[in-house]
Structure 1
């Protein structure tokens, strides 16, 4: 558990501190001294009486009581040292920089488990092992650089990788991104990314806590904890962006159905991030850029004015924003004409607003004022201003800073001349500003931020299902696929609309059932997993003689135990499936059927349970959504009914977690209804 001794210690000891600042123990001590830690600072080094000007203890037993121990000693010495510190020195917080634990071998894993047991025994807090440490407003407990400028309203950054934490800080600091705290959790032996995020949520104070959180995650061990506290923070007004690496490994595993083949742990990560409202990034620069956008006023609409003195970057930014679903609206009319008169001949105000390489700070001010006050179809401004190196541009950047203070619409400074006007950019950043040196990276990130999902409500509205009947079916079922009769009962109990059907193993009963359902009918074999592959599906059966003939043929197909019949329905093929994903719970997936799922894999996923609005979002994000809306005179599909099946599937997964995999394929959708034609349910208790 995170405690005050870890966050704001009155005293710190560096065990393994040295005069060699090229070693972790020496560098972390130097960083603590340079950061002017206000408490008592101690060092343990068995060979020295003084280290970096501080008294050094040769034995841990000789220390006074100490709140926090930062350890830079060999892994094998850590358990005994922690034993002494917890039992004799009242130490309740530990940062273990050392490697050689679970990341290395089984022996290291045992050492790590022993350490966690000792720390937990005193309700202590442990960061690491195998990490760079912890950095906050109270102390520089890391052995790396850079040490960013700390600001209470800077970002809180939690990283599963120490090196990546350094590189992301290096990506952000030169651009002006400020940090409030940096947690490098290493092996996450006790405290991982999820636990730190939980702490930030539970201790959040409006007006005092940072509103931007960054995460670098390699393993999500507690997805429900991540979901709960990320969505809680975002509902409180925070913004969260994350990189989750290592997603490609799971994508190749084979599966026995559409859902299994489409589902993967990386799809689950996407789904849980979307459900929480986290912006997913795929690299360090993108994460730093998204964080920098978060630090600006929120963009309220999708219309952007591009203000530039350079043509090429404006074209590339226009492409990036347009491809990302934002608008670069045309600007015209008397107020546009009045602005044009203030600019040099050859300038353009149609958007992008190009005021040429010779444009002045005064002209930039006129353009920004017009976008702020005169052009109602503008929601935000991207200002591109570099330099060929002919003259200083301090006046331009000073004016930009002033306008950013005055304007309600967000202004994003894109200052690409990081060499020619490095001094001017440094001065601009010193005013508390952030630079976006790459216009395409900025455009892509802004689009992603603008279109980010809202977090689900704390208490989502879940459809009611017949839990008693569902539990009865599941409790009585064995592992494996449910029989068609039980599948029908389960769909009815879950409130999922299905086609009428009959299952028989007698020829005369099959004819009677077909006549009752009404011709034409569809006949399918019961037993084989992939019915169509073995000739086990016959469409448009119109009379009793054909029923008899096909019954005789189909019952000879290997593994067939009965014949299932349904009325011949028409409509657009749809798909809904569910798959239990380790640790995440159930993923529900939805999309168009047929080629859209077989070849294009055009599906979207969400973690159960699923609200109506979340289901509508799954539908509307499909690449083939135009078909659902109705194209070229075709009737639309009833989105409300489609969403209803998705939400009821989610509710069924909550009621029956023993369902390992389930397909509704196909569903047939029309403008009146959406009906499940075929379903498979696999139980794995």
Structure 2
């Protein structure tokens, strides 16, 4: 049942944001319900939503939301990698994570997450599954494992001792299967062992149904009593909603919330556990040359900045970059190459997606190759010159900015180079981005192990990468006119992370 229901219709006068504001400003920790469920199709005031949802969660509330109406139409029109990867739905995702809101995708999903909210909060990821039926336990184990939670093997003297108190054929390895003939008394013993002797376990799921041959009031009464005293959360899965209808009803009348399906519970439990706590209200950002940044941006026209302005802006923001020179004169390129040193990289200046038009040449080792590659690139449509840089090595990374209507600036990052288009393994966050949030989101990349370094690869310095992401946050605070920005690739090693290619679009 719901304590109260608010409907805002088409939000002509007020929206979900104002409802949350009212709930926050009038919140009474002793009287008000602490579980809030939201449905919305648009977010008109993201900052208001973030402020009051975060505040309510810090006061002990738990919030889940369905955000419908996602559309990819806007991202198809974007010209940069960042613009194509970012969307209003990605912005909503980032907002929810920053606020600590659990995102859901339908009514059943929302109710399942709310049911998890009605139990004590999960403090760790190690789950004990207690069951008298093998199949549901196997399905739940699969779902918890794929969702990033653990079902660890339970071994040792205490486990062997527990086994002696169960019927022959029972298993205590996790899942703890005490057979279809298992009793309420045995269930109580198992729960006590998990609470008092299996320190590695953080919570337990109890699966108990019946084919209808016997009543199970005693089991559900025992479960209710243990849930009152257990130091660890107990999530009850009672699948026999028809054959044990009366017993389930009696359990609910005691004020208990149960789950009819173990897989749905596993999905909801993983989602709730992996939703971060609200980000800090105040974020300390790096210091940069704001005066120089403002001078560059105020002088610039709408559109992409010229390469020289891009490098000046990166320098003012304190973002490390590769040494580079730009020229359109063949007679000048050899002199510039002497300053860079061989081997070097040449890139065409003008076209946005250089690799697609043959505008990138690697490992140039002599003047003959240097001049011939420049001649070839100057024939590319839209070429205005060439850019030369030292040939650097490292893990290719990506970082970017996208200004999203109403949300402000999104900071995106992941693996760089061509991998960004092939893998699309990118984290989207909402500025301002602090160090803790940046490092936490970095670890959620599917490609995180590559960034760490695998199979002899050095990997990249995570702290230096996080520092660049924080500098992007500080940059858009100083220059909100930045509509899109790509740093792709950044080359990362354990010693440095430097921008090798960058483009910035201004929209005033």
- Normalised by the size of structure 2, how large is the TM-score? 0.97
Which residue of the partner structure matches residue 660 of structure 1?
Answer: 483
Which residue of the partner structure matches residue 207 of structure 2?
Answer: 384
Which residue of the partner structure matches residue 51 of structure 2?
Answer: 228
Which residue of the partner structure matches residue 354 of structure 2?
Answer: 531
Which residue of the partner structure matches residue 210 of structure 1?
Answer: 33
Contact 1:522 1:537 in 2 (8 A): yes
Among 222, 239, 242, the residue aligned to 1:416: 239
Within a 5 Å distance, the mapping from 1:189-588 to structure 2 comes to 189-250=12-73, 253-588=76-411
Moved more, 391-400 or 518-527: 518-527
- Separation (CA, whole Å) in 2 of partners of 1:614 and 1:250: 29
- Separation (CA, whole Å) in 2 of partners of 1:269 and 1:306: 34
Contact 1:520 1:540 in 2 (8 A): yes
Q: Deviations over 1:389-440 (max 9, x none)?
A: 1111111111111111111111111101000111111111111100101100
- Separation (CA, whole Å) in 2 of partners of 1:250 and 1:294: 35
Q: Deviations over 1:459-511 (max 9, x none)?
A: 11222222111111110000111010000010011111100111223333322
Cα 1:606–1:629 change in 2 (3 A) is: same
Paired residue secondary structure (2:442): helix
- Separation (CA, whole Å) in 1 of partners of 2:359 and 2:255: 69
Within a 5 Å distance, the mapping from 1:106-145 to structure 2 comes to none
Within a 5 Å distance, the mapping from 1:644-659 to structure 2 comes to 644-659=467-482
- Separation (CA, whole Å) in 2 of partners of 1:297 and 1:678: 49
Structure 1 residue 561: Cα displacement = 2.1
- Separation (CA, whole Å) in 1 of partners of 2:170 and 2:164: 9
Paired residue secondary structure (1:636): coil
Contact 1:232 1:458 in 2 (8 A): no
Structure 1 residue 634: Cα displacement = 1.6
Structure 1 residue 669: Cα displacement = 0.9
- Separation (CA, whole Å) in 1 of partners of 2:153 and 2:348: 60
Structure 1 residue 289: Cα displacement = 1.0
Contact 1:250 1:265 in 2 (8 A): no
Contact 1:303 1:329 in 2 (8 A): yes
Moved more, 229-238 or 280-289: 229-238
Structure 1 residue 652: Cα displacement = 1.0
Cα 1:545–1:410 change in 2 (3 A) is: same
1:609 aligns with 2:432: yes
Q: Deviations over 1:582-623 (max 9, x none)?
A: 111111110102342111101111011111111112221111
Contact 2:292 2:316 in 1 (8 A): yes
Structure 1 residue 371: Cα displacement = 0.8
Within a 5 Å distance, the mapping from 1:73-84 to structure 2 comes to none
How many pairs were matched up? Answer: 508
Paired residue secondary structure (1:552): helix
Relative contact order higher in (CA < 8 Å, ≥ 6 apart): 2
Structure 2: runs of 5+ lacking an equivalent? none
- Separation (CA, whole Å) in 2 of partners of 1:624 and 1:267: 19
Paired residue secondary structure (1:580): strand
Paired residue secondary structure (1:605): strand
